[in-house]
């Protein structure tokens, strides 16, 4: 009976975790969708993508530091290795933004968009290599990712 209760408890906890994960990821996509509209206005009328990204990053950092100042007090709890991974994650993301900017300057959107749009496939590929112990990648996930990427490429090209 206890084992049954434990299993049910685990299942409920896992489905709650999944629900939070799916909702957060899709909410992040909506948030980025809004920012893309803002970016279109900023880059068209105000300044370059590089300068706009620098200030937007700073304001994002500043706002979260104020809202979550209590969590920020625990910064000493982060070990050096985690700091290094966060630094590398930030660096890789900046390389992404900078490289996309130069790609758009050198090649037409029709070529650039399908390649940059496939970044999730690289995430899955790297995940299957480096995250073997903490993540299980299923064929259904890969199929779903492919469908999303093809759909997104069609959407980007329809607006290009």
Partner 1 sequence: MGTIITGIIFALIAAIGWGASAVLSRIALEKTDPRLATIVSLFFSSIIMFSLSLSMQFNEFEKLVVSDFLWFFSAGITSFAAGRLLNYVGIKNIGVSKASPLFGTSPLFAALLAIIILNENPTIMLGMGIILVTFGIILITKSK
Residues 84-143 that bind partner 1 (CB under 8 A): 85-100, 102-108, 111-112, 115-128, 130-131, 134-138, 140-143
Positions 47 through 66 that interact with partner 1 (CB under 8 A): 47-48, 50-65
Cβ nearer to partner 1, comparing 6 with 35:
35
SS3 144: helix
Any residues with CB less than 8 A from the CB of 117 and at least 6 apart, and which?
Answer: 149, 152, 153, 156
Handedness of CA 90, 144, 160, 39 (dihedral sign): negative
Residue 48's region, left for phi above 0, alpha for psi from -120 to 50, else beta, is beta
Q: Would you say how long the chain is, in residues?
A: 160
Taking CB under 8 A as the criterion, the residue among 4, 38, 80, 132 binding partner 1 is: 38
Backbone torsions φ then ψ of 107, nearest 5 degrees:
-135, 155
In whole angstroms, the minimum distance from the beta carbon of 6 to partner 1 comes to: 19
Helix ranges (DSSP H) in 68-79: 69-72
Q: Does 6 bind partner 1 (CB under 8 A)?
A: no
Cβ nearer to partner 1, comparing 1 with 75:
75
In whole angstroms, the minimum distance from the beta carbon of 1 to partner 1 comes to: 26
Taking CB under 8 A as the criterion, the residue among 7, 9, 11, 147 binding partner 1 is: 147
Q: How far apart are CA 157 and CA 110, in angstroms?
A: 6
Taking CB under 8 A as the criterion, the residue among 3, 4, 5, 36 binding partner 1 is: 36
In whole angstroms, the minimum distance from the beta carbon of 3 to partner 1 comes to: 21
């Amino acid at each position: 009976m206890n084992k049954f209760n434990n299993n049910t408890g685990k299942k409920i906890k896992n489905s709650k975790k999944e629900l939070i994960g799916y909702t957060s990821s899709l909410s992040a996509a909506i948030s980025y969708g809004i920012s893309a509209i803002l970016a279109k206005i900023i880059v068209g009328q105000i300044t370059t993508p590089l300068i706009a990204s620098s200030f937007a990053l700073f304001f994002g950092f500043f706002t979260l530091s104020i809202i979550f100042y209590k969590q920020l007090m625990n910064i000493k709890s982060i070990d050096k290795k985690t700091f290094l991974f966060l630094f590398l994650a930030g660096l890789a993301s900046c390389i992404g933004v900078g490289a996309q900017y130069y790609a758009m300057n050198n090649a037409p959107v029709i070529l650039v968009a399908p390649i940059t749009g496939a970044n999730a496939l690289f995430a899955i590929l790297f995940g299957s290599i480096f995250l073997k112990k903490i993540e299980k990648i299923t064929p259904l996930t890969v199929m779903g990712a492919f469908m999303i990427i093809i759909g997104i490429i069609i959407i980007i090209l329809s607006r290009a």
